Structure 1
């Protein structure tokens, strides 16, 4: 894993040798780093899949995107089942059967509308590495731009907040008192992740700053599903209705509920998000805490050195002035 340091946060530049769907950014409380996270747009994505590993043939069978602003306002939603082109398995998790995906679009059909939703936004997921692996395997080869700016709320929570468990439903309940609805549906989980991000930005002890790849405007995509032929458009097949049955281009003002006030569980020293992946057990947490203490000590040493240098310079200047006055 290669890393590039921006401010005081290490932003991992990782992925397989092939095209990556996302390059991961991070949120930090460092006032000298990046730009205000509340001033950005976000596209929260979630997928349900036929298995856990696209390299072993697993494919997306449902996808959802919630487009939102940094103040928590949700502006657009997309939800559709996806025909994986192979047997649908994993029903014990997502309850999607073979008959449900009949007539649903395939991954390649959705590239245009996804590019339009991701344009100018940081793409967000809870365990974004999972979504990224499937988008890189199916959607990037079909034309979705690669290396989009990404933000993982799982790594972000681990780096900023002290919890026992960080799974999306457990973290949401521990911090807001609400269990997310629609678990193991793509839109239900995307909405829960969007709510969590809105509350993260709302509750932070000080301004959160985004460091990482900057959002860019992508090539113009269709505001309606992409055309497949003369006079034809892709027909979405949503499992979960979008808000009030509105079309994708419609605006939904405000989050699902006002951001809750979180208990005071913010870490005194934020962890490096690059150390907050994997299972994140006790050993991993202690390693991240040790790294945070080391970086804080280095910063304090540099600050003390700079102060001493300034004091010595001021003293030397005062002595020189005194000699001249004599």
Structure 2
């Protein structure tokens, strides 16, 4: 199963108010394993970068000026994601920006059902607990080593968080096989040994007599307990 874990960085919070995407980062998973294939583009938003956005992302006007516009990378992005599930933290935010940009370029919209929202998964799994990406990294012991938010780095971090949310790094509980046999041969070859001393009976003499009487009265000579 192919999945794309992605993140976007933007100039603000609302594309309908003129905010634009300035960075897209995405990593490919195949069967919940990173393949090493990535998509990463800085994008000229064709507007100034607000100071508060610069402080979060570290992407200023001078850096973004001359980078490709969304119209130049939109189709390449669609080609990369294809029909794969899109793993996004707070999917509603990224999806509204992506679809706004795609609409302005007369490119196909991404169906909402194509997105898997890790924020919703985390809130359902840990109700009442912080569910930001940073909070989940702390919960799962994932080292972020970042001062600024970057789309590609955040998507790589989110891929690790996503695997933990769906069951950890070993979703098959260590039962993966190679060549039809378990990878841990010692465990596969282990068999229980008989006890050197039998355990004593755990029923009283009165209980044994009551059972025998019940078998004799209710089940008769054909009772399984009478056969050896």
Deviation at 1:163, TM superposition (A): 6.2
1:1-16 alignment, distance < 5 Å: none
Deviation at 1:124, TM superposition (A): 1.4
> Any idea what the Cα deviations from partners look like across 1:175-227, whole Å, max 9, x if unmatched?
2x1232345111111111111112223439988xxxxxxxxxxxxxxxxxxxx
* Match among 193, 198, 203 for residue 163 of structure 2: 198
CA distance in 1, matches of 2:36, 2:116: 19
* Match among 88, 91, 114 for residue 128 of structure 1: 91
Contact 1:111 1:144 in 2 (8 A): no
1:222-301 alignment, distance < 5 Å: none
Contact 2:42 2:64 in 1 (8 A): yes
Alignment match, 2:22: 61
| Over 4 Å off, 4+ runs | 204-207
Larger RCO: 1 or 2 (CA < 8 Å, sep 6+):
1
SS in 2 for 1:78: strand
Contact 1:127 1:154 in 2 (8 A): yes
Contact 1:83 1:101 in 2 (8 A): yes
CA distance in 1, matches of 2:128, 2:33: 23
Alignment match, 1:168: 133
Contact 1:47 1:60 in 2 (8 A): yes
Deviation at 1:146, TM superposition (A): 3.0
TM-score by length of 1: 0.48
Contact 2:99 2:109 in 1 (8 A): no
Change (3 A) 1:53 1:145: closer
CA distance in 2, matches of 1:197, 1:70: 13
Alignment match, 1:46: 7
Alignment match, 2:120: 155
* Match among 105, 108, 111 for residue 68 of structure 2: 105
Deviation at 1:140, TM superposition (A): 3.4
Change (3 A) 1:158 1:205: farther
CA distance in 2, matches of 1:99, 1:191: 26
Matched length: 167
SS in 2 for 1:159: helix
Deviation at 1:172, TM superposition (A): 1.4
Please say if 1:115 is aligned against 2:82: no
Structure showing greater radius of gyration is 2
- Bigger helix share: 2
CA distance in 2, matches of 1:166, 1:121: 24
* Match among 70, 73, 96 for residue 34 of structure 2: 73
Which runs of 5 or more structure 1 residues have no equivalent in the other structure? 1-39, 208-326
Deviation at 1:74, TM superposition (A): 3.0
SS in 1 for 2:166: helix
> Any idea what the Cα deviations from partners look like across 1:203-262, whole Å, max 9, x if unmatched?
39988xxxxxxxxxxxxxxxxxxxxxxxxxxxxxxxxxxxxxxxxxxxxxxxxxxxxxxx
Alignment match, 2:110: 146
* Match among 123, 141, 144 for residue 180 of structure 1: 144
